[in-house]
Amino acid sequence: MTTKSLKHLTTTARIIPLAAAIAAAAVGTAHASERLDVASAYSTQNLFGQSAKNISERIKMMSSGEFEFAVHDPGELVPPFEIFNSVSSGAIPAGWTSIAYLSGNLPIANLYGALPFSPPAEAVFSWTSAGEGSELLQKALDPYNVKFLACSYLPQEPGGWFNKEINSTDDLNGLSMRISGLGAQVLNKFGASTQLIPGNEVYLSLERGRVDAAEFSIPQVDSAMGLDEIAEYYYFPGWQQGAGWLALLINQSVWDGYSDSQRGQISTACQANIQKEADEVIPAQVETLRELEESGVKIRRFPDEVLNALHDSWDEVRSELVAESPEFDEAYTSLMEHAEKMQQWHDLQTLPSKTDVQGD
């Protein structure tokens, strides 16, 4: 077993028996108004978990150390996929996770970062952070007693890691893949078997053959997890997820108990973190891809034939969702209208290329 395998196994197994005791302590301190204990779905050793730590450092600076934002690794308080229900019930005061992980409770959750063939990341995040998308999501969360804040910006992800080439949709038949969101439903129509596996288990699942392929995150995160050690092909584009972002979920009663100053510090720290990541994240991914290629990873694009077939399947899945959920229909329509406004602006600002001006 590799060193990274041992590291992942240790992370998965550690201190779970103490979770209940730690969670109880976290809730007690949260209501004291000086400390917010946050259960992270991601290790603080990777980019996602570090993003939460960055917010913690900003809050500490703004409050002169009087307000603490304590980030706990996966399993220290609750398992990653139990964060939402635990925040809702008040078992823990706060969590750091992807809204897409909430899709089992909220039909519209997949629109917020796990939408196949979605508008560009800029449009999705604008709608989520400052447009009607923010209002619709909070409205859906209100019955669960959960306050959300968008706190982390991520661009479109790659299509995933594979140990065989994908030349046609026939190559998807029988494929076992770790994938989140509605993309899983699309792949199922081609005979694929899909699973949603927590981030701290993806490496071992792929290494041990529990899955044949996996999509998790952006290159910087995937590389740090060591996925390039156990998969040969890295496919683009990320048709399954046009944008990504992470959210801070806070029990509404805990949020209401904070002062205006404390709530302002959390909101400001989140906004600053978003800007930091928007500035830095894409150049860092290009650098990581260069390093992966040098190490032997084969970067590929899905054939147009495959992408077109996936898009047709997505149209079917989307039609089913719209028919089943008025909330999904309302939110999807709102997102697409918002994206169209942004596209109109970009179209007006588009400059001709030198080739267009000079002709042949």
Domain with residue 19: its CATH number is 3.40.190.170
Residue, of 179 and 9, whose pLDDT is higher: 179
pLDDT value for 354: 77
For residue range 260-309, what is the model confidence (pLDDT) as tens digits?
Answer: 999 999 999 999 999 999 899 899 999 999 999 999 999 999 999 999 99
Q: Give me the chain's average pLDDT, please.
A: 88
Domain count, the chain: 1
**pLDDT band, residue 129 (cuts 50/70/90):** confident
- Cα–Cα distance for residue pair 177/172, rounded to 1 Å: 9
pLDDT at 24: 47
In a domain, 96, yes or no: yes
Structural domain contains residue 171 = no
Range 86-112 average pLDDT? 92
> Is 147 a member of any domain?
yes
Whose CA is closest to 105, among 311, 253, 249? 249
| Beta-carbon-side half-sphere exposure of residue 268 (alpha carbons within 13 Å) | 13
Whether residue 316 is contained in a domain is answered as: no
Confidence band, pLDDT 50/70/90 cuts, at residue 4 = very low
Domain membership flag for residue 146? yes
Residue span of the structural domain in which 275 resides: 3-157+242-285
Is residue 313 in a domain? no
Section 78-93 average pLDDT: 96
Q: Is residue 330 part of a domain?
A: no
For residue 206, being part of any structural domain is answered with no
* Interval 344-358 mean pLDDT: 82
Q: How confident is the model at residue 26 (pLDDT cuts 50, 70, 90)?
A: very low
Is residue 338 scored above 90 in pLDDT?
yes
Mean pLDDT lowest among 15-24, 155-164, 277-286: 15-24
* The pLDDT of residue 219: 95
